[in-house]
Amino acid sequence: DMGGHDTYMHKEISEQPDAVDRVLRGRIDDRFSTVHLGGLNLDPREARTIRRIKILGCGTSYHAGLIGASLIEGMARIPADAEPASEFRYRNPVVDPDTLYIAVSQSGETYDVLAAVQELKRKGARVLGVVNVVGSAIAREADGGVYVHAGPEVCVVSTKCFTNTVVAFALLALHLGRIRDLSVTDGKRIIEGLRKLPAQIEEILKTEDEIKSIAAEYAGAQSMMFIGRVRGYPVALEASLKLKEISYIHAEAYPASELKHGPLALIEPALPTVAIVPDDDLLEKNRAALEEIKARSGRILAVAHQPQAKADHTIVVPKNEDELDPILMGIPLQLFAYHTALAMGRDIDKPRNLAKSVTVE
Ligand code: F6R
- Tell me the ipTM for this assembly: 0.97
Query: Is ligand 1 within 6 A of the CB of residue 186?
Result: no
Measured from the CB, is residue 61 less than 6 Å from ligand 1? Answer: yes
For range 204-215, the mean pLDDT:
98
- What is the per-residue pLDDT for 247? 96
Instruction: Tell me which residue has its CA closest to atom 6 in ligand 1.
Output: 58
For residue 356, pLDDT beyond 80: no
- DSSP 8-state assignment for residue 214: H
Which residues are part of the catalytic machinery?
A: 356
Cα distances from 81 to residues 66, 84, 101, 233, in angstroms, run: 7, 10, 10, 14
- Residue nearest to ligand 1 atom 2, measured at CA: 157
pLDDT at 299 over 80: yes
pLDDT digit string, tens, across residues 79-128:
999 999 999 999 989 999 999 999 999 999 999 999 999 999 999 999 99
pLDDT tops 90 at residue 361: no
Q: Is the CB of 358 under 6 A from ligand 1?
A: yes
Q: Mean pLDDT throughout 166-174?
A: 98
Pairing of strands 300-304, 313-316: parallel
What three-state secondary structure class fits 81?
Answer: strand
Ligand 1 mean position, distance from CA 111 (Å): 11
Q: How many CA atoms lie within 13 A of 82 on its CB side?
A: 28
- Does ligand 1 come within 6 angstroms of the Cβ of 357? yes
- Give dist(CA 343, CA 92) in Å, integer: 45
CB 89 within 8 Å of CB 35: no
Q: How far is the CA of 59 from the centre of ligand 1 (A)?
A: 5
Atom of ligand 1 at shortest range from CA of 59: 9
pTM of the predicted model, to two decimals? 0.97
Using CA atoms, how far apart are residues 254 and 222, in angstroms rounded to an integer? 17
- Output the pLDDT for position 355: 79
The alpha carbon of 316 and the centre of ligand 1 are apart by a number of angstroms equal to 28
